[in-house]
């Protein structure tokens, strides 16, 4: 099976090369995004491997089908970038439902600690031999209330980390697990009572801009917002206004709603055209990392292993437990009619 691997980075290659050594999978790595202009690179390939910021819409799906591709292998858990309804019956889609919840949860806590203890500012100061502690006062996590929105594997790992800091937990999930032992609350109560709010839910029509001007108005003054899930969960302009109004005390973002053409690339020699992102980064109480929460050796190995297993499963058995498909207005997992 030939696979066109889009948006390849140097850190992707070793794990995928390792896990395909003893297989007949022939991966062709391309560093470009999958777009209407680059889709032709998939000619002669049976499958395409794409990442979070490769938009696979109706136009791309049609072109892939015309080129003979029959499989789209997402090397990520999220699939909001794929038109699964349009892909039904045309292109088989598989994904990596879980790779390392510890990677994302630990990065979330790292962002929080960096922000509230001013570690990033201390790093810059001491490199200039400035050892002043002025304007470096932070606050303790012990006794603070953490609102976790989305309590899947990542959310649960973060909750366990927060418990170790002596924090109070408020959990929200659309599908609460009665056996989890978590203290679930309505979303409105999360907004009102949390000192810190961390988002760990998928991007859907329902969760799009769930953090907006209205929800921010309900939050405590000085609230800290964390987002290591999907950028469009937060209305970036409303976030900016909340920061300027001093309603939001700090924001830690590993994702951004318009990140597709910016993240994963080096723009240090250019002028960023996204004014909202530029203004957010300029704020002293905002930390932005470029969608790197997943980026650990363990996670990269797991992503490669599961992606390769997905492809081999379809090749050898025509089924895959991680296949995604649209049926009766819902997105389901597992091979149809399995």
pLDDT tens for each residue of 120-172:
999 999 999 999 999 999 999 999 999 999 999 999 999 999 999 999 999 99
Last residue of a domain, one of 253, 270, 288: 288
Do 95 and 113 lie in a common domain? no
Do 141 and 279 lie in a common domain? yes
Do 128 and 267 lie in a common domain? yes
Cα 310 to Cα 279, 299, 316, 323, distances in angstroms: 41, 16, 10, 8
List, in order, residues 6 or more apart from 179 with CB less than 8 Å away.
none
Do 120 and 225 lie in a common domain? yes
Which residues are known to be catalytic? 230, 259, 291
User: What's the confidence (pLDDT) of residue 134?
Assistant: 97
**1 secondary structure, DSSP code:** -
Do 94 and 108 lie in a common domain? no
Do 241 and 274 lie in a common domain? yes
Which pair of tokens denotes residue 223? 């609230």
Do 120 and 243 lie in a common domain? yes
User: What's the confidence (pLDDT) of residue 15?
Assistant: 97
The number of distinct structural domains making up the chain is: 2
Q: Please give the model's pTM, rounded to 2 decimal places.
A: 0.92
Do 84 and 166 lie in a common domain? no
Q: Is the pLDDT of residue 64 over 60?
A: yes
338 within a domain of the structure (yes/no): no
The whole-angstrom separation of Cα 136 and Cα 284 is: 12
244 within a domain of the structure (yes/no): yes
The pLDDT mean for the chain works out to 96
CA atoms 315, 316, 322, 324: torsion sign: positive
Pairing of strands 323-327, 330-333: antiparallel
CATH number at residue 39: 3.40.50.720
235 within a domain of the structure (yes/no): yes
User: What's the confidence (pLDDT) of residue 164?
Assistant: 98
Q: pLDDT for 243-261, tens place per residue? A: 999 999 999 999 999 998 8
**Angle between helix 236-244 and helix 275-282 axes, rounded to 10 deg:** 40
SS3 state of residue 260: coil
Share of the chain above pLDDT 70, in %: 99
Q: Are 220 and 192 in contact (CB under 8 A)?
A: yes
135 Rama sector, left if φ>0, alpha if ψ -120 to 50, beta otherwise: left
Give mean pLDDT, residues 2-13. 96
The residue range of the domain holding 57 is: 2-99+297-333
Q: Are 70 and 92 in contact (CB under 8 A)?
A: yes
Cα 130 to Cα 125, 237, 282, distances in angstroms: 5, 34, 21
**Which H/E stretch holds residue 309?**
helix 297-317
Q: pLDDT for 10-34, tens place per residue? A: 999 999 999 999 999 999 999 999 9
153 within a domain of the structure (yes/no): yes
Do 87 and 105 lie in a common domain? no
User: What's the confidence (pLDDT) of residue 336?
Assistant: 86
Q: pLDDT for 262-321, tens place per residue? A: 999 999 999 999 999 999 999 999 999 999 999 999 999 999 999 999 999 999 999 999
Do 271 and 123 lie in a common domain? yes
**144 secondary structure, DSSP code:** P
User: What's the confidence (pLDDT) of residue 338?
Assistant: 53
With 0-12 / 13-18 / 19 or more C-beta atoms within 10 angstroms meaning exposed / middle / buried, residue 257 is buried
Give mean pLDDT, residues 70-88. 95
Nearest CA-CA partner of 90 in 66, 108, 55: 66
User: What's the confidence (pLDDT) of residue 3?
Assistant: 98
Q: b/e string for 159-181 if b means 16 or more Cβ within 10 A? A: bebbeeeebbbbbbbeeeeeeee
Do 161 and 213 lie in a common domain? yes
Which pair of tokens denotes residue 320? 């895959």
Q: pLDDT for 264-274, tens place per residue? A: 999 999 999 99
Do 16 and 28 lie in a common domain? yes
């Amino acid at each position: 099976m030939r696979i066109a691997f889009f948006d390849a980075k140097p850190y992707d290659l070793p794990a995928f090369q390792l896990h395909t050594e003893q297989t007949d999978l022939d991966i062709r790595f391309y560093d470009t995004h999958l777009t209407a202009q680059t889709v032709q690179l998939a000619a002669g390939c049976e499958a395409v491997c794409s990442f979070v910021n490769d938009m696979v819409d109706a136009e791309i799906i049609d072109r892939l089908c015309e080129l003979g591709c029959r499989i789209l292998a997402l090397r990520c858990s999220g699939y909001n970038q794929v038109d699964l309804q349009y892909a039904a019956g045309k292109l088989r889609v598989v994904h990596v439902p879980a790779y390392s919840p510890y990677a994302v949860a630990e990065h979330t806590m790292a962002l929080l600690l960096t922000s509230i203890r001013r570690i990033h500012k201390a790093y810059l100061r001491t490199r200039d031999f400035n050892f002043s502690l002025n304007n470096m006062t932070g606050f303790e996590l012990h006794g603070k209330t953490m609102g976790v929105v989305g309590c899947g594997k990542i959310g649960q790992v973060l909750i366990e980390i927060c418990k170790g800091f002596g924090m109070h937990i408020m959990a929200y999930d659309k599908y609460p697990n009665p056996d989890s032992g978590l203290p679930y609350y309505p979303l409105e109560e999360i907004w009102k009572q949390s000192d810190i709010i961390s988002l760990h839910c998928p991007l859907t029509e329902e969760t799009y801009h769930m953090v907006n001007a209205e929800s921010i108005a309900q939050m405590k003054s000085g609230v800290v917002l964390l987002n290591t899930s999907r950028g469009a969960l937060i209305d970036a302009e409303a976030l900016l206004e909340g920061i300027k109004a001093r309603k939001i005390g700090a924001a830690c973002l590993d994702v951004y709603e318009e990140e597709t053409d910016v993240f994963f690339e080096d723009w240090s020699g250019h002028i960023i055209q996204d004014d909202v992102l530029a203004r957010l980064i300029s704020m002293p109480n905002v930390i932005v990392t470029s969608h790197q929460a997943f980026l650990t050796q363990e996670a990269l190995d797991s992503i490669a292993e599961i992606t390769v297993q997905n492809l081999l499963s379809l090749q050898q058995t025509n089924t895959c437990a991680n296949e995604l498909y649209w049926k009766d207005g819902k997105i389901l997992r597992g091979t149809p009619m399995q």
